[in-house]
Chains A and B, each alone.
Chain A
Amino acid sequence: MSQSNITDKNYSLQTRLVLAFGLLLILFLGFAAIVLVRAYRLSVVASVEERLQLQVYALLGVAEPEGDGFFLPELSEARFSQIDSGLYGFIIDSAGREVWRSPSALNINVAQDIFQVDEIIRGETIFGSLDTMDQGQLSWVSYGTFWEVQDQSYNFVVMESNAPTNAQIRSFSSNLFIWFSVLAVFLSVAQYLLLRWGMRPLQKLAVDVSAIEAGEQDQLQSNYPIELLPVTHNLNVLIKSERDRQGRYRTTLGDLAHSLKTPLAVLSTALQELQQTHNFTEQHRLDMAEQLNRMDQIVSYQLKRAVKSGQTKLLSRSVPVAPVLNRILGALGKVYRDKNMAVVCELADDAVFYGEESDLMELTGNLLDNAFKYGASKVHVSASQKKKVLQLQIDDDGNGIAEGDRHWVLERGARADTVRSGQGIGLAVAVEIVSSYGGEIKIDQNEWGGARVKVKLGQ
């Protein structure tokens, strides 16, 4: 893999989660703050507009026409009367001329053209804001009326300084910032603690594994959370199968060494005898050939046993049976071409072996080789699957295996020097493989009088 970007560096799980959640937290809180401030600003602006509109109605209520202008004797709102109070009222005629302004607005320097409109529409309310040199930003509302006495349309305009509302929004924002910061700190700490708590089983696993490495314990303990149980269970199986395999290697080596000692002893005594007598007889040759043959058998039996992968079914792949059997039948058809065996196959497509393909090949190769070797003219092979159980049956029309021999033939782990030649080795290897997968192997006689070998795997 060449994907060693920043994201693939060897950060610990905890660092990854802390970084990811931290980033998410910042994004979430930041976005929430922006949305909240915007919503607050909108509601403040709406309330300002509503208030200004009420002030317009108040002006309308007390306005009395006087000549070309207006006279507003009793202003209910004190701020209209107080200079630079921040609340200002204007009445503008249709030509855009100012006909009245509140006493508060005496100092206000507003460009006249902002009141210039094409036509005053009665009952129309317009909102807006403008910037001034001395008063800062002002929000305004203008309301169009028709005054029958003067036969004239007027715009009643009320303006208010934005300074108080801006201050209000600013204070809201800074409050929000403070609280969100507190929240962020609190959430970060909580998240860190939660992650540590959640990660604790993994740390425990690491400690456990190193304890096994150090030889302080045999297996992982069982008190892991349910999500980790399959992992710890499989690790335990792996550890156990590795231990078993080491044990097997030791016994195999022991067996091999011991069983080779006997023929070696015979050979060396024969050699000594020859040195003394200087007479090499036919009997000597036969003895030595027999011992060599025995040694060859011992070695090949142990080698065949060693071929087995030693995998257990829990850690294995599923291997379709039919293709493997067909390959072996093709190979045996070549080797035993002279026998012209009639082979009948009943191989279910869904027949599956849970294990190593090489084990299946060794198992079926040995059994089928026997069937071809000892069968006279026909071989019958069937493979079927019932739920998770694979059933294999191999029949030939040879002489079969005598009932008395079936027992020792199926005995597992027969010592190499006790294995007899011929069918023994192939079957012994098959038995070894089947029992290592926790399966079952049986020998029977079929209706042709030949051997029937039945194998059940995957219970």
Chain B
Amino acid sequence: MRLLIVEDEDLLRARLVKALTDSGYVVDSASEGKNGLFHATEYEYDAAIIDLGLPGMDGISLIKAVRAKGKTFPILILTARDNWTDKVAGLDAGADDYVVKPFQIEEIKARLNALMRRAAGFAKPMLEFSNLSLDTTARKLMVSGVETELTAYEYKVLEYLMLHPGKVVSKTELTEHLYEQDHDRDSNVLEVFIRRLRQKLDPDETLKPIDTIRGQGYRFNVPVKHN
């Protein structure tokens, strides 16, 4: 999952970037609104964290500008001002949730997780497809009720695919959302991950959860479980 953080306070931004990178997110950051807007329009993100009190272009204008460019990824506001006029203004401008400073990193992670899951259309933290369920809070995969171990990269690939069910996801898109920019983008590595995932998700080869669309990419193709 690729994140954008726009925060002018250097210490806080560095801490957020480190904590979220450690949690497996690919994180870009900007220290002021104009740069943030450039990132938001040039790259594809899964979510953004925007501070309301930015120098120059303020947070609300940035959110409006991002939305005006047709970007629909969820936005989490950070604000030091804990009053409803500001919160409502931010949410009206197009943000999806807010966190008041000071905050615990765990709270940010939980909110981001919920936002991205919701943006993909899932109401609960558990992504359930047929006999597969991915717990996005505990980062665990259950296959037919049995917990199955995943490496960090396998989890990232699976989560991304599950959050875009039925959609063809290109290899480029996957690498962009899962790796840092300067990371070695060897598509063979991705193929290895997909092969391993297929084995773990579907040891009997009855479900065939991930389709390969030749020349285009992969598609997670298991119907969502309704309960």
Contacts and interface: CB of A to CB of B under 8 A. Distances in A.
Interface of A: 296, 300, 303-304, 307, 327-328, 330-331, 334-335, 337-338, 340, 357-358, 361-362, 364-366
Given A358-B85, A361-B85, A365-B84, A335 B98 contact: yes
A340 B83 CA distance: 24
A292 to B, nearest CB: 9
B180 interface: no
A209 B124 CA distance: 64
B123 A296 contact: no
Given A300-B100, A338-B114, A307 B124 contact: no
A296 to B, nearest CB: 6
B118 interface: yes
Contact of A338 (B83, B91, B100, B118): B118
B96 A362 contact: no
A338 B85 contact: no
Interface residues of B, number: 17
Q: Summarize A's interface: helix, strand, loop or mixed.
A: helix
Contact of B88 (A327, A337, A366): A327
A334 B97 contact: yes
Contact of B91 (A300, A307, A331): A331
Contact of A362 (B83, B91, B98, B118): B83
Contacts of A358: 83-85
Interface in B167-206: none
Contacts of B88: 327-328, 331, 361, 365
Given A296-B102, A330-B92, A338-B124, A366 B84 contact: yes
Nearest to B90: A331
A331 B82 contact: no
B102 A365 contact: no
B114 A335 contact: no
A446 B99 CA distance: 31
A113 B87 CA distance: 104
A304 B100 contact: no
A202 B82 CA distance: 45
Contacts, number: 47
Nearest to B80: A303
Nearest to B94: A334
Contacts of B124: 338
Contacts of A357: 85
28 contacts: A300-B82, A304-B82, A307-B83, A327-B88, A327-B92, A328-B84, A328-B88, A330-B91, A330-B92, A331-B91, A331-B92, A334-B91, A334-B97, A335-B91, A335-B96, A335-B97, A338-B114, A340-B123, A361-B83, A361-B85, A362-B83, A362-B84, A364-B84, A365-B83, A365-B84, A365-B87, A365-B88, A366-B84
Given A330-B91, A335-B97, 11 more contacts: A303-B82, A327-B88, A328-B84, A330-B92, A331-B88, A338-B114, A357-B85, A361-B88, A362-B85, A364-B84, A366-B84
B84 A334 contact: no
Q: Which of A328, A330, A335 has the most CB of B within 10 A?
A: A335
A338 B97 contact: no
A364 B85 CA distance: 11
B107 to A, nearest CB: 13
Q: Which of B85, B92, B118, B124 has the most CB of A within 10 A?
A: B85
A362 B85 CA distance: 7
A366 B100 CA distance: 14
Contacts of A331: 87-88, 91-92
Nearest to B115: A337
Contacts of B102: 296
B84 to A, nearest CB: 3
A151 to B, nearest CB: 112
A282 to B, nearest CB: 18
Nearest to A338: B123
10 nearest CB pairs, A to B: A365-B84, A331-B91, A361-B84, A307-B83, A331-B88, A358-B85, A361-B85, A362-B84, A327-B88, A335-B97
B96 A334 contact: yes
Contacts of A300: 82, 100
Interface in B95-124: 96-98, 100, 102, 114, 118, 123-124
Q: Which of B83, B87, B124 has the most CB of A within 10 A?
A: B83
A365 B90 CA distance: 14
Nearest to B111: A335
B117 to A, nearest CB: 9
Contacts of A334: 91, 96-97
A337 B84 CA distance: 18
A357 B85 CA distance: 9
Contacts of A335: 91, 96-98
Contacts of A303: 82
A105 B2 CA distance: 126
B121 to A, nearest CB: 11
Contacts of A362: 83-85
B194 to A, nearest CB: 31
A182 B82 CA distance: 74
B49 to A, nearest CB: 15
Contacts of B114: 338
A265 B102 CA distance: 21
A260 to B, nearest CB: 15
A358 B84 CA distance: 8
B218 to A, nearest CB: 28
Nearest to B103: A296
Contacts of B83: 304, 307, 358, 361-362, 365
B191 to A, nearest CB: 36
Contacts of B123: 338, 340
Contacts of A327: 88, 92
A434 to B, nearest CB: 15
A364 B88 CA distance: 12
A338 B84 CA distance: 21
Contacts of B96: 334-335
Nearest to A327: B88
A433 B88 CA distance: 19
A304 B141 CA distance: 43
Contacts of A307: 83
A409 B192 CA distance: 59
A358 B83 CA distance: 9
